[in-house]
Amino acid sequence: MSELRVRFAPSPTGYLHVGGARTALFNWLLARKQGGTFILRIEDTDVERSTQESVDAILQGMRWLGLDWDEGPFYQSDSFELYKEYVQKLLNDGKAYRCYCTSGELDKKRELAMQEGRKPKYDGTCRERLDQSDAPYVVRFRAPQGGEVAFDDLIKGRIAFPAEELDDLIIQRTDGTPTYNFCVVIDDASMRITTVIRGDDHVNNTPRQIQLYQALGFPVPQFAHVPMILGSDKARLSKRHGATSVIAYRDMGFLPEALMNYLVRLGWSHGDDEIFSRDEMVQKFDINNVGRSASVFNTEKLLWLNAHYIKTGDTERLADLLLPHLSKREVTTLGGPDLILVVKTLQERAQTLEEMADRAVFYYNAPQIYDEAALAKFEKEHLLAVFETVAEQLSATTAADAAGFDALFKEICIEKGWKMPQVGQPVRIALSGGTQAPGIGEIVATLGVTETVSRIRMAGVFVAGK
């Protein structure tokens, strides 16, 4: 096992966002490729917003995608005593200080700085204060002054910040709770994280965190900041662009391998390849090949990938995955045709499991209504003749598979002088209620001759009564 240690550290304030899932995926792929360790950490220090429901949603999304972790999940809320120890260490070493400035005073300092055209950062009023008042206080990090803080980002290249732009960061609030940037440094150091892969919205946090690593004598990890995902309007991906939850895509009938394949290609490429198996992703992934610019989420591309994975997927597995989608439609497969056979007739054409479920309903629920506009394209006498002829011929046939039934329909056409659409379309409507259905032979083979004949005779009764 290599010394590489990476982590995914979501905040449990909502579902697993596709952007977060992509970050988790990049971490997971790097760990699997290099034989490293992938750690899951739940950053739940925001007590008011963190919920167990969100934790469960994140874990559910990770498991559905198959992003298994090697250590964890660890919870920041279990480490408050550790954070306090390090706050005290910085205070003892003179690398942190108590700040008694009130929020009102800080607001005035910010307003004055902005009026004078200065960056609205803390002016260091309490930096050299030696007395210890009984008034409420926060603890600030005594940021080194002068020079710059620089790091070589694995994706963006060298990034440097003038130290004068970094103010004295609050590391502990007045209620004694630690702040995000401080917790992250302590966690990553104590977990021996060697590479931090995260969204590029954290770039501005990185120099402050580097200063904390150095002040505490911790080794500084490598950083890789992944560009954000945008919606079609080039704004940051949000609910107004459609679903952003990983589990929402599961519920919409997407396969985990399709979403995983799509996410890995959002910002990363390997030549012109589009389709990657799980093993191929691990083998070919290179964090240095992640692009520097933001990626646009394209639902049509995801649908194309999902259709590919449905078309080439294991039929038995697809049948199992289809069951919850049929249940949503109050469809039971008990007493109906074999669901695996049903899936075989549909997987060539379905883009999602939801779409497949819609198209599978007729196999288990005989149509109660028919597409009358489609039926109206044929003379009533012709429809009755087709239904009667097909019902009689099927009742007497020895055909047992789709090819045999298709051959039978061709014989009927030759015998009666009909064209195939003149027979196939009315029968398809009789069996499914509409015109969008698999091939006639496939339907008959899946439904069985008895059920097929029964439905054709029911359609004949409907047409006769018109």
CA–CA dist 24, 7 (Å, integer)? 8
> What's the pLDDT tens digit per position in 316-338?
999 999 999 999 999 999 999 99
pLDDT at 315 over 90: yes
What is the mean pLDDT of the segment spanning 425-440?
95
What are the tens digits of pLDDT across the range 198-214? Answer: 999 999 999 999 999 99
Residue 1: pLDDT band (50, 70, 90) is low
Average pLDDT for the chain: 95
Q: Which residues contact 163 (CB under 8 A, 6 or more apart)?
A: 143, 144, 145, 146, 147, 148, 149
Q: Domain 78-183 classified CATH 3.30.230.70?
A: no
Kindly report, residue by residue over 34-80, the tens digit of the pLDDT. Answer: 999 999 999 998 877 889 999 999 999 999 999 999 999 999 999 99
Over residues 410-433, mean pLDDT: 97
pLDDT of 101 reads: 94
Is the pLDDT score of 339 beyond 90?
yes
Task: Give me the count of residues in the chain.
Answer: 466
Which residues are tagged catalytic? 239
Whose CA is closest to 264, among 38, 23, 4?
23
User: How many CB atoms are closer than 10 A to CB 238?
Assistant: 11
Please tell me the predicted confidence (pLDDT) of residue 225: 97
The pLDDT of residue 355 is above 90: yes
SS (H, E, C) the chain: CCCCEEEECCCCCCCCEHHHHHHHHHHHHHHHHHCCEEEEEECCCCCCCCCHHHHHHHHHHHHHHCCCCCEEEEEHHHHHHHHHHHHHHHHHCCCEEEECCCHHHHHHHHHHHHHCCCCCCCCCCCCCCCCCCCCCCEEEECCCCCCEEEEEECCCEEEEEEHHHCCCCEEECCCCCECHHHHHHHHHHHCCCCEEEEEHHHHHHHHHHHHHHHHHCCCCCEEEEECCEECCCCCECCHHHCCCEHHHHHHCCCCHHHHHHHHHCCCECCCCCCCCCHHHHHHHCCHHHECCCCEECCHHHHHHHHHHHHHCCCHHHHHHHHHHHHHHCCCCCCCCCCHHHHHHHHCCCCCCHHHHHHHHHHHHCCCCCCCHHHHCCCCHHHHHHHHHHHHHHHHHCCCCCHHHHHHHHHHHHHHHCCCHHHHHHHHHHHHHCCCCCCCHHHHHHHHCHHHHHHHHHHHHHHHHCC
Predicted confidence (pLDDT) per residue in 297-312, tens digit = 999 999 999 999 999 9
Domain ranges of the chain: 5-69+229-300, 78-183, 313-364, 372-464
**Domain 5-69+229-300 grouped into CATH 2.60.40.10:** no
pLDDT per residue as tens digits for the range 143-167: 998 899 999 999 999 999 999 889 8
- pLDDT confidence of residue 275: 96
Structure confidence at residue 399 as a pLDDT band (50, 70, 90): very high
Other Cβ atoms within 10 Å of 403 Cβ, number: 12
Mean pLDDT over 412-424 rounds to 96
Q: What average pLDDT does this structure show over 385-402?
A: 97
Mean per-residue pLDDT, 408-417: 97
* Model confidence at 267: pLDDT above 70: yes
Q: Between 118 and 436, name the one with better pLDDT.
A: 436
- Distance separating alpha carbons of residues 12 and 349, to the nearest angstrom: 38
For residue 243, pLDDT beyond 90: no
For the structural domain made of 372-464, what CATH number should be given?
Answer: 1.10.10.350
